[in-house]
Structure 1
């Protein structure tokens, strides 16, 4: 594989003087050997020697003050004067090598470059195979320099191309295909990896359940995929994960997930080969870790998904273990098998919540991982981060950490060079913007029928007119309020739609609840389309009724406002006729001041011992976002899925209203904010 990246100089232990190390990496004015392109082995000490050494017969006189052997194909000369512009290097120097066996080899000079910072410094290239595997003395005019490339370590360079968090942006694949082809032309072949969350987020996904994206991923010939939390969004208490199973079955690449256990869901039995590592991984199968052979070298790949998938998605009977413990076990297994080049393909987040782990923590906690290709936090990491200290602050072998943003905007490129012991000695990378490339013609043709179907759905009238804009604010967008921390008009509309549907199933339902993390887009004023509603609630969650005591409801709302006024995806919006008052200045767990419901036109407090029927989506009802009190009630048989899909309930309710005009009404009040 080609390696066209600059070297990470801190990894090399050359013996140049400080001044010449700096000079060796200074830009050159003409096309030349890159002094940093070698592996740093065989560098000889610079000899600060003066004398009458500029006596080449056909060139101006120049003394040589120092020579540095860059690698077996190039060296750096420090002349005593500025290099004459336009003079061929062959007129300035005569070069030969006397080998240890006393034979003499003439060294043919092939190219040179003059430093733009110090024009007395010249990097010289010579014939590629002159000194490989040899040892002896290099003579440059009257200057002599010992070299030894007889024991030069064998280096291995690996390219990794990577994507993550596509979230249903199928329309980006034609440009990604072009970008990948360009990357391979530039850097050579390499591994292609995806760090999860292909599922959820757009009309493409709602219509085709990931099968559209998979067609392009198969075309691009991915080498491995790790499950993200959103791959489990369609989990159903009764049916499990049929759409995800279909996605795996039809994939022409393997899946990895070392801290995920699929054995509790029989739907995965025929595609689940977890346990240990596989040297012959099959397409459409799930493994803890796999070994790929690249240019005769074995490269280990294992997968890790965030443990809080159990709270933020619907994995049902798929379970998760500690990320660091699972990673350590995989590193140990690979090393036992003699595999010393190890990639962790993760969906943890670059620097996300440390309580559930992230890529930087993983790098410091588990030594022996060479590269971490990540997702989940949608972070643009360019160039890749290099972690060189463990969690105790002690120096460790480097771990290269990369992530490529979100939504197919970038193709990540990482190049790592390993020494003969599998230690990273060199790395670099970039994010190539897919949006700057033209779509691949074949891929663009593949996309057309998918886009046509989506456009028809996108533009289908929903039967309602929105009088005012309904924003979906987030703190990260600079808004003072957030759908994940405050009452919003859109949250009020959604919960009212749920209550409207719930009352038709059970007239005793007192309130409906919607987690803020499940509200994904605003709606603009004007005629409303089906496409807009699906973008607002893209997860296809179904209405669920729960029987709860007043005490359990109070516990649930303590969970809702636990992080206030900071954002929390589990923040609960409430339907009309419910009033929550809390104080975020009080200790978490003791913040709810009152929870009231409207009865015969009057607000009354919830009774601790009274039983109530409430409505929410099946994700929240089964414990999503950490609602253990809901999960326990559901497991006790006090929950019923009544079948209505979230965006369909919103469509029907808005159609009943015709003209829709919603605002913030004071349903949720934080006394601290007043």
Structure 2
């Protein structure tokens, strides 16, 4: 759906005009009403002023019309009323004056001063862009977001509606509907383009690929832009991948970039996703190329098509090495970047005017709208005739400040009913004591990403229990701290509580690993300690990791012991269990990625939250604490 169009205001950041200097040959006073003054030079300064140099001093207090005739016409020769002409005399040279008038912004025509004529060009094109990012399964945010979008269009006029990725993962809505709920609301709002984020690949399976993402794309009534993503290795996407740049984009299809028309002007849009997706998600056979190189190629291809207004729709980060700001500073020709991934609220839009070498560059606008459907980004970007950004104005609309759209609210009801039923189903177990999920910076001096926790112990024990039903040679289970998302309170938990702890739906994987490789992995696990690391590995009962955070990274692990027997640093093979994300090399575990490539990983298929639920029900009474499974001798 598209909403009512209205006019939009802009904040000017620069003016572009044809300026010139002319010499007068006539008397300089064609009306004969005032003192004789010859016009020597006229310069158009900007859309609201011009200057005149006379051959004599300007008489103080005399209206300009008594000295010289002034007229302004548009490119069709029609007169333009520029209001009163206010004169300011140069104090150091009273023969020079600056004349201000009503703005000529958006106009093209001719200024005539006496007998002299100067052309001016203040043509402007205004593009309104509305944007969202990192919804992460917050389907219940859409009814309010729809109304925020309507309000934004009342202010900024109709424009492009873009999403910068990570619709998948994070809530019970996603666990139940796998994005099929979200895409219905995106279709209702009328999105114009979407770039996949890293979490769109969370459900990747080595055998089946990405059937849920394919289904999401197939349902989308908008195109997918993915300039640095190669889907060719996954046959599930074959019927959707078109590639290249097109003016005839079709819904559901995947392109490098698309060209759309807005108010008679062509706008190019291309998509980029972070290359880190290969390590922080499960893309399987979907590959990612260098985002800067892909951007340069996409911009070049769009410019070859004659497009000079270019939008990059990105899931990169707002700042840092792989980021929108790095993109803006290193790739010329991008006018607007609509970003995601880092969950930043950028208000007002950032204007980048220097390149990576610190030199002036044509401006690039960057916007991002936070997370979870809490805000809708709106901006109005002004371009000159050459497609250069000359102005921008923008803000974030807080969706909670708007009433829910009635139609969207009705659409939400069946999804919420199903989620509430699932969420409220009790787990047949009782948790004896609270199982916290601490993070540094929240009043805690320990973190799930740097220290052993009771909850981490429970999760790994549940994984080991499940793994042993598939292979009784498994010696331990490990769980990355970044995959433990919420705490569990004492009492009877619900399935909803369990899923919020492990929302990614990762599956159990068994790995054959040497002693040398195991030590290499745990060196990475504790490399940042006592600081946080999403790859910090929790371990199952019977395993003890002893290390010293005082030592250099890579030389910290002192011993790995299982059931009282120390693991040797050699090529003896062991079998361990973990989730498929970590087993595939997630969180930078190259050693695991190499093992996976070597064919030493088997996906068993148990889902993470289901293993946790089943194990708690087997226990009946869940009584867990920190036990000394992971010991930092420096901390002691």
Query: Normalization by structure 1: what TM-score?
Result: 0.82
Aligned residues of 1:162 and 1:411 also touching (Cα < 8 A): yes
Secondary structure in structure 2 of the residue aligned to 1:253: coil
1:400 paired residue among 365, 374, 378: 365
Aligned residues of 2:318 and 2:324 also touching (Cα < 8 A): yes
2:245 paired residue among 277, 280, 285: 277
- Matched with 2:328 is 363
Alignment size in residue pairs = 592
- Determine whether 1:634 maps to 2:634: no
Any gaps of 5 or more consecutive residues in structure 1? 16-38, 55-63, 68-92, 113-121, 139-144
Aligned residues of 1:197 and 1:231 also touching (Cα < 8 A): yes
Shift of 1:317: 0.3
Secondary structure in structure 2 of the residue aligned to 1:573: strand
Aligned residues of 1:97 and 1:105 also touching (Cα < 8 A): no
Distance 1:289 1:100 in 2: 40
Aligned residues of 1:172 and 1:408 also touching (Cα < 8 A): yes
- Matched with 1:213 is 182
Aligned residues of 2:519 and 2:569 also touching (Cα < 8 A): no
Shift of 1:164: 0.2
Distance 1:556 1:400 in 2: 41
Distance 2:572 2:288 in 1: 36
- Matched with 2:157 is 188
Shift of 1:629: 2.0
Q: Which moved more, 1:533-542 or 1:606-615?
A: 606-615
Aligned residues of 1:109 and 1:126 also touching (Cα < 8 A): no
Distance 1:427 1:104 in 2: 29
- Matched with 1:168 is 137
1:136 paired residue among 112, 120, 142: 112
Distance 1:157 1:432 in 2: 20
Shift of 1:123: 9.5
1:655 paired residue among 605, 617, 627: 617
- Determine whether 1:530 maps to 2:495: yes
- Matched with 1:261 is 230
- Matched with 1:430 is 395
Secondary structure in structure 2 of the residue aligned to 1:45: strand
Aligned residues of 1:499 and 1:512 also touching (Cα < 8 A): yes
- Matched with 1:510 is 475
Shift of 1:568: 1.9
Shift of 1:412: 0.4
Matches within 5 A, 1:116-127: none
Shift of 1:124: 7.5
Aligned residues of 2:16 and 2:121 also touching (Cα < 8 A): no
Distance 2:364 2:83 in 1: 38
- Matched with 2:552 is 587
Matches within 5 A, 1:229-628: 229-274=198-243, 276-352=244-320, 354=321, 357-598=322-563, 602-606=564-568, 608-628=570-590
Distance 1:337 1:498 in 2: 54
Change in CA separation of 1:380 and 1:146 when aligned onto 2, cut-off 3 Å: farther
Distance 2:556 2:104 in 1: 76
Distance 1:456 1:503 in 2: 32
Distance 1:104 1:188 in 2: 28
Change in CA separation of 1:665 and 1:392 when aligned onto 2, cut-off 3 Å: same
Aligned residues of 2:50 and 2:100 also touching (Cα < 8 A): no
Shift of 1:240: 0.3
Q: Which moved more, 1:200-209 or 1:646-655?
A: 646-655
Secondary structure in structure 2 of the residue aligned to 1:393: coil
Aligned residues of 1:98 and 1:104 also touching (Cα < 8 A): no
User: Cα deviation per residue 1:246-295 (whole Å; 9 max; x = unaligned)?
Assistant: 10011000001111100011111000011x21111110000011111111
Shift of 1:40: 4.3
Aligned residues of 1:343 and 1:369 also touching (Cα < 8 A): yes
- Matched with 1:201 is 170
Distance 2:78 2:230 in 1: 64
Distance 2:592 2:82 in 1: 78
- Matched with 2:60 is 51
Secondary structure in structure 2 of the residue aligned to 1:381: coil
Change in CA separation of 1:40 and 1:151 when aligned onto 2, cut-off 3 Å: closer
1:9 paired residue among 13, 20, 42: 13
Distance 1:107 1:552 in 2: 79
Query: Normalization by structure 2: what TM-score?
Result: 0.87
Shift of 1:389: 0.8
Q: Which moved more, 1:583-592 or 1:265-274?
A: 583-592
Secondary structure in structure 1 of the residue aligned to 2:420: helix
Distance 2:18 2:352 in 1: 21
1:179 paired residue among 137, 144, 148: 148
Distance 2:105 2:575 in 1: 79
- Matched with 2:631 is 669
Shift of 1:448: 0.4
Change in CA separation of 1:639 and 1:146 when aligned onto 2, cut-off 3 Å: same
Secondary structure in structure 2 of the residue aligned to 1:429: strand
Change in CA separation of 1:647 and 1:40 when aligned onto 2, cut-off 3 Å: farther
Change in CA separation of 1:345 and 1:642 when aligned onto 2, cut-off 3 Å: same
- Matched with 1:72 is none
Distance 1:256 1:635 in 2: 29
User: Cα deviation per residue 1:451-505 (whole Å; 9 max; x = unaligned)?
Assistant: 0110111110011122222222223545322222221111111001111111222
Change in CA separation of 1:545 and 1:296 when aligned onto 2, cut-off 3 Å: same
Shift of 1:548: 1.1
Change in CA separation of 1:249 and 1:528 when aligned onto 2, cut-off 3 Å: same
Change in CA separation of 1:126 and 1:304 when aligned onto 2, cut-off 3 Å: closer
Distance 1:320 1:613 in 2: 31
Change in CA separation of 1:391 and 1:212 when aligned onto 2, cut-off 3 Å: same
Shift of 1:644: 1.2
Change in CA separation of 1:127 and 1:235 when aligned onto 2, cut-off 3 Å: closer
- Matched with 2:95 is none
Shift of 1:507: 1.9
